[in-house]
Amino acid sequence: MHWAPFAMDTESRNLSAQPLAVHPPLTRLPLVTLYVTERCNSRCITCDYWRHGRNDMDLAAVTRLLPSFAQLHTEVVLLSGGEPLLNPDWAPIAESLHKNGIKAWLLTSGLALAKHARRAAGLFDAITVSLDGTDAETYAAIRGVDAFEKVCEGIHAAAEHGMRPSLRVTLQRANYRQFPAFVGLAKELGARQVSFLAVDVANPHAFGRTDDFVSDLALRREELPEFEQLLHTVERDHSEDFRSGFIAESPQKLRRIHQYFAAIHGQRPYPPVRCNAPEFSAVIGATGRVQPCFFISGPLDARTANGNVSPSADLTSILNDSGMTALRNSIRNGLRAECITCVCSMWRDPQDLRSVTKFMGAVWEARP
C-alpha cells in the first residue's frame, strides 16, 4: 500500500567502498517515517505488501528510538506501512510520541478508520487516507477489496471528530478519468485537502514489490491526450481550490504526472527531479532497517533495535556511518537510477525545516 522497497541492489551494497565527499554530518531530522507494520488489509494491484508482509514494530522499539529523536530534533513522525492500524500498538505509539513532544501523522488505507475514528482523531495531528476510486467498482479494481463505502465512512467520521483527513490519490489507467470527480468527493467527505501523484511503475522494488513485478498500470499512449484535457478541465474549473491549497499541487506540478506517463512511452524525458528528502527525513522499517527515503533501501547493517534485532548503533550514528553517508552522497550527486524516475520527490528549503508548521504544510504539498 505505502512506500517501502525491500530489495537492495549492487550499487547500494558497494557504496561504502566509494570515496566520500566531505559533507557535514546529519544533525537534524525533522521528519521520520516509521513502517510500524508490513501487514496490510488491502490487496492493491500497485503493491505486494499484503502478499508477504509479516513484521510489526512494537511500542518497545519505538521507545528505544525516542532518545535519538530528541537528539535529532525530530518534530513529526509519520506512521505508515503496510496498514498502521493493524499494529496492535498503534495507539500507544502515537501516545508515546505526543508525550515526548513529537507530532504524529497517520497514513492509512482507511479500512479501519471508521472503527477507530474517535481515538485516531484525538491522537494524530494529521491523517492522510489513500483513496484510489470515486466509486465502489473502481476502488475494488485497484485496492482489491470491496470497501469504498467503509473508507468513505471513516474519512467522514474522522472529520466529524475534528480531524479532517487529507486524501492521497494515485492516478493510474484504472482511475484517471475520475480525476475531476476526486476533488468533488474530497469536499463531500469533509477532507481538508486532496493530493495526486502518478502510479510508480519505473521502480520494480517500490511498495514491497518482488522481482517478478509486471505492470500494466500506467496510462497508455493513446490515453495521454484525454488525460491532458482532464488537466485543462480541472485547472479551469477549480482555480479557487488551487489557490486555497485544497488541491495540494499547483497546476504545474500536476502536469508533471502527464509528463511522467509520456516519458514511460518515450515521448518526453522524465520530469526533472529536485529532492533533498534524505537531508531532512529518514524511513525506518518494521524490522528496524533504516533507509534514506521511501524508494531506496539503506545498507543491510543500518538497523535500529526491534524485537530480537540488535542495533548496530543509535539512529544518529547509523545515519552518519560510512555506508549511509555514501548513499546520501550518491543521491545528492544524481547517481541513483531510482531518482531519475521518482514520482514522489521532495525539496524543502532548509530554513523551513525549523518550523514544524511550515514543514508539515510543505510535506502535504510535496506530491510531484
Residue with cell 495540494: 248
pTM for the structure as a whole: 0.86
Q: Tell me the H-state helices in the chain.
A: 10-14, 49-52, 59-71, 90-99, 113-123, 136-143, 148-160, 179-188, 224-237, 239-244, 251-264, 277-280, 315-319, 322-332, 337-340, 356-364
Q: What is the pLDDT of residues 79-116, one digit of tens each?
A: 998 899 999 999 999 999 999 999 999 999 999 999 99
User: Which SS3 state, helix, strand or coil, does residue 183 take?
Assistant: helix
Is 6 a residue whose pLDDT tops 50?
no
The pLDDT score that the predictor gives to residue 50 is: 53
List the beta bridge partners of residue 306: 309
Out of 2-16, 21-35, 268-282, pick the least confident. 2-16
Q: How does the average pLDDT of the chain come out, rounded? A: 85
Task: Return d(Cα 267, Cα 339) in angstroms, integer.
Answer: 19
Q: Which three cell numbers stand for residue 101?
A: 513532544
Nearest by Cα to 258 from 234, 225, 214: 225
The pLDDT score that the predictor gives to residue 14 is: 41
Q: With bands split at pLDDT 50, 70 and 90, how would you rate the model's confidence at 17?
A: very low
| Burial of residue 22 (number of CB atoms within 10 Å: 0-12, 13-18, 19+) | exposed
Nearest by Cα to 125 from 188, 77, 68, 70: 77
Is 12 a residue whose pLDDT tops 70?
no
Q: With bands split at pLDDT 50, 70 and 90, how would you rate the model's confidence at 214?
A: low
Rounded to an integer, the average pLDDT of 211-217 is 64
Q: What is the pLDDT of residues 134-164, one digit of tens each?
A: 999 999 999 888 999 999 999 999 999 999 9
Q: What is the pLDDT of residues 177-190, one digit of tens each?
A: 999 999 999 999 99
Tell me how many degrees the CA angle 175-218-40 measures, rounded to the nearest 5. Answer: 70
Amino acid identity for residue 341 in this structure: T
| Entry field: residues in the chain | 368
Is 40 a residue whose pLDDT tops 90?
no
Is 2 a residue whose pLDDT tops 90?
no
